[in-house]
Structure 1
Amino acid sequence: MDYLRGMGIQAQVQQGESLLEIWVLEQDQAVAEREWQRFVAEPNHPRYHEASWHSGDTHSGLSYGKGASMMASIRSKAGPLTLTIMVLCLAIYLPWFLGWQRPIFNVLHFFESWQAFSLAEGWRIFTPTLIHFDPMHIVFNLLWWWQLGGLIERRLGTGKLFVVLIVGGTLPNLVQFAMVGPNFGGLSGVVYALVGYCWMMGRLRPESGIGLPQSYMMFLVLWMVAGFAGFMNMANWAHLGGLVVGLAQAGLDSRQRH
């Protein structure tokens, strides 16, 4: 429905006895029939996801679980790993917000120097990813993690998301440390890995059902550029590192046989 509306075709859905019927004007019937056959052949193509992203809501008149609780809505778009990381970030942020910044940062921050690296505290390569400094910071990151991480986990499995999380939560941290220093935190390096992964997979292997609209990719790249330009205080090198990680991972995954 969203895709047809985006093409300028007026369409309505009617509930039959055992199926749904899509009705269009007579002059649009040939085009709608052709598009229907394309949809049947590749229903997970990003063009349909992008149409829904751009519309912001379905025009079909169907409820899609309307009235369900917020938690049920969150769970419906997320797998166990997506939810676990969201809960973990919130559990760390709550005492941070209540004034426990110093003890939390002491436990989770990145190594102070190259000489301080130790296998005994190897978690420090990853754990800055779980620290968030203010409400806007954590809301921005968790919304993208929930949307894109949940998409990958539901489509490709928990194992695939785990790989993107670990690689996107460690290598960008190393890049940020090497370029700026140890005082950083946040899930945004992973978020940019998810962005790069979804965008590239949508172009190299659209049948996977993973994709990201071009407009969203452009917005997040401009957001990163604004950070490098000094308009915002962000972990810019972690963002860039995460984006490269996601693009590279999608390039590798798209060549695997399925």
Structure 2
Amino acid sequence: MTDQPNKVYFVGAGPGDAELITVKGARLLRECNVVVYAGSLVDWELVRHYAPAARAYDSAGMDLVQTTEILVQAIADGEKVVRLHTGDPSIYGAIQEQMEELDKAGVPYEVVPGVTSAFAAAATLKQELTLPEVSQTVIITRIAGRTPVPDREKLSEVARIGATMVIYLSVSMVETVVKELLAGAYTLATPVAVVARASWPDELVISGTLSDIADKVKEAGIKKQALILVGDVLAARREGMTAKSQLYDPNFTHGSRKGIVT
């Protein structure tokens, strides 16, 4: 089955490292005639490498009307089009409103997932985000800023769960983040890591606890393009694991292996 050429492909570029784009995403870039990319977050070198012959439009200074016009016109001209977003377009990607406009224009589209920065940050930390008897839930969220969040999703509310949390788009308000987290299930001793520009050559990691992370972030001058990871799982590399997964326990039987009988 071949892809229909006359549709818009929303492609996740990955977190920064050009090699972290998917095979399908890279292929679509190589084949496209037009690429509209989020230049404030997507590395131009990625566009240049995979789509050197395409007409490239940086959407950083554009509004929804302008990007839609480019996409619709390119499809009308019979061209192959990629709308390139950072990370995975389903996470804070603002693609729903773009797809709505394409629906109005009768333009077909497809979404190609990518590696979101939360998982690039976890890879940098060499940290599993779900650990037995520690946390089996990962919450991806943000603090309210210029973009509001529903009252039921205030950081202090979701912090009551005490799960592993990955906080996007909030490092510039890190002191408020700490205050909100402490209003939930976390304590001053809860481990925290801030990963700035995950997977980029200038990636920076700041580790600490809720008692000192705000000062460390301020001292490092981190103001944007950073994730805040919070939770007891982050203590595992320092303190060891409290429990191991049953998946590889020699005494555990599952569909692919019979456990040792003692």
The two structures have a TM-score, normalised by structure 1, of 0.26
Q: Which has the higher strand share?
A: 2
Q: Which has the higher helix share?
A: 1
